[in-house]
Amino acid sequence: MVKAVFFDLGETLVTQNIEDNMVTKQALNEIAKLLPRPATPGKLFKIYQRGYRVNQALRSRHHVEIPVHNWMRQLLRRAMGEDPEEGLLERAISIIVDSRSSNTVAFRDAMPALEKLAQGRKKLAIISNISSHQVAVEILKRVRLMRFFDHVVTSAQTGIRKPDPGIFLYALMQFGIRPGEAIHVGDSEEHDVRGAKSVGMKTVLVSRRGYGEATLADYRFRSLAEAADLFGSL
């Protein structure tokens, strides 16, 4: 019997309404105005890109998270030539949180799917790869989905990224349930399907861009709306 349903966040329940680099550039433009030493937004973006490439390699290879406090401190240090004061660091992070959460919208089928599951009294939680736990929470609040979830589990919070089994096991611990009593819904074959199946969870792959390669998922749909019958039967 399924007692809990876990959801990935980005590109499963929500998406950005502008291109990702534009979101970052908007935030860095505001951060540049805070610096005691002049730095153009373009310079900050180049520093960000270099740091992102290094950090992303570590994330992908070792399934560890580089929290926003770490990479923002690194970015400001390289831009200023010295360690930033804590006040400046916190203001810069606040800008990032606001920019990323305010430029995110929910897919139209997200709320109906969650409402159907809530009617069935299923426990619901998020499992998301994201460098800021606060961004995940703010996104859910802004798109009015937070009320559906008992827990929000992020890589920023745990230090572990999907597909590592650790983050899935941590999420299961929050409800005190076994893997066979849970199902995970996401859009990534590698991060969501393979990760969840590695601990014994059932999986749903949401392929919004159409079916591509074969999948190991137990169920596959083009949208959460297509999954309505499954969610109603859980």
67 to each of 29, 223, 231, how far by Cα in Å?
Answer: 21, 30, 33
pLDDT of residue 232: 86
pLDDT of residue 212: 77
Same domain, 182 and 210: yes
Region 123-152: mean pLDDT is 98
Same domain, 121 and 92: no
Q: How many CA atoms lie within 13 A of 4 on its CB side?
A: 24
How many domains does the chain fold into? 2
Cis peptide before 163 (omega within 30 of 0): yes
Query: Nearest to residue 227, comparing CAs of 4, 5, 1?
Result: 5
Q: What is the pLDDT of residues 25-84, one digit of tens each?
A: 999 999 999 999 878 999 999 999 999 999 999 999 999 999 999 999 999 999 999 999
Same domain, 96 and 150: no
Q: What is the pLDDT of residues 142-186, one digit of tens each?
A: 999 999 999 999 999 999 999 999 999 999 999 999 999 999 999
Domain that holds residue 132: 4-15+105-233
Q: What is the pLDDT of residues 200-227, one digit of tens each?
A: 999 999 999 888 789 999 999 999 999 9
Same domain, 184 and 208: yes
pLDDT of residue 57: 96
pTM for the model stands at 0.95
Same domain, 146 and 198: yes
Whole-number Å distance between alpha carbons of 61 and 161: 10
Local confidence band at 121 (pLDDT 50, 70, 90 cut-offs): confident
Last residue of a domain, one of 102, 132, 157: 102
Same domain, 31 and 128: no
Same domain, 48 and 71: yes
Residue 163 is part of a domain; what is its CATH number? Answer: 3.40.50.1000
pLDDT of residue 180: 97
Amino acid at 51: G
Same domain, 228 and 150: yes
Same domain, 98 and 109: no
Same domain, 193 and 225: yes
Same domain, 135 and 203: yes
Last residue of a domain, one of 43, 72, 102: 102
Same domain, 71 and 41: yes
Last residue of a domain, one of 102, 134, 155: 102
